[in-house]
Amino acid sequence: MGSSPPGNARARQPQRKRVRLLYERRVSLYSLFVALPGLLVSAVFLWYQPWTLESKLTVFFLELFVWWILAMALQEQATRPLQTLANVVASLREEDYSFRARGAVPDDVLGELSLEVNALADLLSERRIQAIEATALLRRVVEEIDVPLFAFDPGHNLRLINSAGERLLQQPAVRLLGRTAEEIGLGPCLAAESETLVPLHFSSPNARWQVRRSSFRQKGVPHTLIVLSDVSRALREEERSAWQRLIRVLGHELNNSLAPIKSIAGSLLTQVSRVPLEAAQRQDFERGLAIIETRAASLNRFLQAYRQLAQMPAPVLRRAGFAAIVHRVAGLETRLPVTVIPGPDIELLADPDQLEHMLINLVRNAVEAAQEPPHPAEPSQDLGLSAPPPSDPEVVMRWDLTEKDLVLTIEDNGPGLLNPSNAFVPFYTTKPAGSGIGLVLSRQIAEAHGGSLELRNRSDRKGCRVTVTLQRFQPAAN
């Protein structure tokens, strides 16, 4: 190989034509000049020979022919190897490492040059394979990491996105590449400082994203790398840890005070009944002591709710059929029939008791929301238009499978959330008899199972949608 130039090398040959012809002409002239003195001596010698003129001319032209053949052979031996080496170097420049120089033998000047060129081709070929493998590994790592990653050029156009970024933006890469950061909603990420929190309107309302920015160069052009980290769960863990420490202190102090207050109030109420008092005084004493005892009991229940939130036990994992749990929870609700749209039969490695507790809370909230009357301030009423007739209360449960997770959806047709950002704030509730810990406990259970819980208003109609994501285990055996 290497005797014929590649296509691109041939295309560049006219640019080197003059230089190559000058070199070849010099070689031809030198080869002719080397034999010229011998020809002149031979011509003089032939002239003085007693031969016929025809014989002299025949021998002379025969010498000229042999002279020309040897000159051409010398030119070929001098220029052909160099042309081959030039073609090999040209192919290396074009990143084609399949060509090799012929005549690569040791103990020869031209052969050693061919050996060095072939060694260079082998080295470049090996480096290219390593670069391709490293690039493939980098792409695989970028695709597999579970954090959104984006790269932008100096014009803020998207040039790189991984699978996590596609899931965050809910669009495939073919629709995103080439668009600006402002068009895809990531303008605040480029404007924010590194290691800061930014809001993203297309993500969960309770999500908190930390931006990490860095720079790199590709073909000499500076690019910006954006890595987003969802720190919501870490912040909630810190918040939960702070709540637990606070509850331990408050619980100890309140228990030390509430128990004696309740006991003393009960004892005084018993003794008042034995002391002769006027009816009005007796009524005042009994009412006051009853209020003290009732409020002490109410504070104790409030404290127990705090303890329930802070002392959630770790789940006891075992294999459990998910469909059976959903149907069992739906059957417990008697105020409103819950529609269950069956999904794939799947088994989870989970704590069935905690999952049931979570689903009971979510279904109960959905039923209460579906039965709740519309908010008094509706847009149709504000504009003087007639409001649409209220629909029948409805709660629907369905689930489906993704590549790695099980996704459960609970939808209702109630009035929706007035303030979704406060839905997971402990002890925040809009219900007169609500405790404000049901959603917090449910999300804590989902996250303890390696999943997540999201709460949003429905976009297709009025109502709320709860999405629970749990890690898959394996399909149930038939």
Reported as a single tens digit per residue, the pLDDT across 274-300 is 777 777 777 777 777 777 877 777 777
Is residue 353 within 8 Å of 320, Cβ to Cβ? no
Highest mean pLDDT among 97-101, 367-371, 389-393: 367-371
pLDDT band at 1 (very low <50, low <70, confident <90, very high): very low
Residue 382 pLDDT exceeds 50: no
| Predicted pLDDT at 408 | 93
pLDDT band at 6 (very low <50, low <70, confident <90, very high): very low
Contacts of 321 (CB under 8 A, 6+ apart): 345, 346, 347, 476
Exposure class string for 363-393: b at 16+ Cβ within 10 A, else e: bbbbbbbbeeeeeeeeeeeeeeeeeeeeeeb
For residue range 355-364, what is the model confidence (pLDDT) as tens digits?
Answer: 988 999 899 8
On the CB side of 445, CA atoms within 13 Å amount to 24
In single-letter form, the type of residue at position 347 comes to E
d(CA 43, CA 54): 14
| Predicted pLDDT at 171 | 85
| Predicted pLDDT at 380 | 39
* Least-confidence region, from 10-14, 330-334, 388-392: 10-14
Averaged pLDDT of the chain: 78
Q: What's the rounded mean pLDDT across residues 90-111?
A: 80
Q: What's the rounded mean pLDDT across residues 24-37?
A: 78
Tell me the chain's radius of gyration from C-alpha atoms: 44
CA proximity to 156, closest of 203, 223, 216, 92: 223
| Predicted pLDDT at 407 | 92
d(CA 226, CA 329): 43
* Least-confidence region, from 107-116, 168-177, 315-324: 107-116
| Predicted pLDDT at 308 | 61
State the pTM of this model.
Answer: 0.47
Residue 234 pLDDT exceeds 80: no
Is residue 472 within 8 Å of 464, Cβ to Cβ? no
| Predicted pLDDT at 400 | 92
- Give the 3-state secondary structure of residue 160: strand
Which letter does DSSP use for residue 152 in this model? Answer: E
Contacts of 236 (CB under 8 A, 6+ apart): 443, 447
| Predicted pLDDT at 384 | 41
